Structure 1
Amino acid sequence: MKKLALAAALAVTASTAAYAGGLEEPVVEPVIIEEDTSGSGGAWVIPVVLLALIGAAAAS
């Protein structure tokens, strides 16, 4: 009888360990990359150059 109880206990232990991980896909969170969106850094160069050209043309 002890052998039957031992075999049943081992069977229960082995069967629960087999289903420990399950068959679901792992949940992987996406990596969010934020970019700097300041686009007005070089926007002042063109008007300054145009003003310099207009000032040079008016002076001559």
Structure 2
Amino acid sequence: MKKLALAAAFAAAASTAFAGSMEEPMMEAPVVVEETAASSSAAGVWVPLLLIAIVAAVVAAD
């Protein structure tokens, strides 16, 4: 019975020893998602379309 009480006392002491410390908790930085404007992705389409139109106009003029 004494061994059981001693084991319970050691178990209780060990569980509180690893519970934490007095240090400030480490907080992770918030994730910032930056949205881009929709016009920037569409701007890459205009140059090839303009080149195709110029080539089509040159071919039609011949």
TM-score by length of 2: 0.45
The structure carrying a bigger helix percent of its residues is 2
What TM-score, normalized to structure 1? 0.46
